[in-house]
Amino acid sequence: MNLKKEKLVDFITIYSVIFTFATILSSIVQLSIMDRLEDTNSHILFRAVVVLIGTLSYKIEVKLKSGNKIVEVLVNYVVVMAIVLIFVFISGFFEELHPNAYRDIILNFTPFFIVLTLIKEFNFKRK
């Protein structure tokens, strides 16, 4: 398999695993804590876009090389979080946002970003 095809397969695999995990976790939270029995199609599609942004950030962060790992991670987080917040703002034109939508996306996306960063760092140190 050539290198570009390998990278595409790697990206799709990471995206699929994260989206599946996020969807299952969301379903568990909605059923057990919030007593909601359904998830709207638009909410699932919005989650797919946010996971795509996060997965792309994982790939982009690998390309940033400033010499200082903390600066690389912080710059990537700020840029990606800005993109996610802009996406939330734009999605408000299509569907009414929850009053805590911006807080919720920060609280949901930040742990996702931290876990991806830790996984990436662990994998690089193993190689």
pLDDT in tens, 18-75: 888 887 777 777 767 766 656 566 777 787 888 888 777 777 665 666 677 788 888 8
Q: At what angle do helices 41-63 and 3-32 cross, to 10 degrees?
A: 140
CA distances from 35 to 20, 24, 94, 95 (A): 21, 15, 25, 22
The full set of domain ranges for the chain reads: 3-126
pTM of the model: 0.70
* pLDDT digit string, tens, across residues 53-66: 877 777 766 566 66
How many residues in the chain?
127
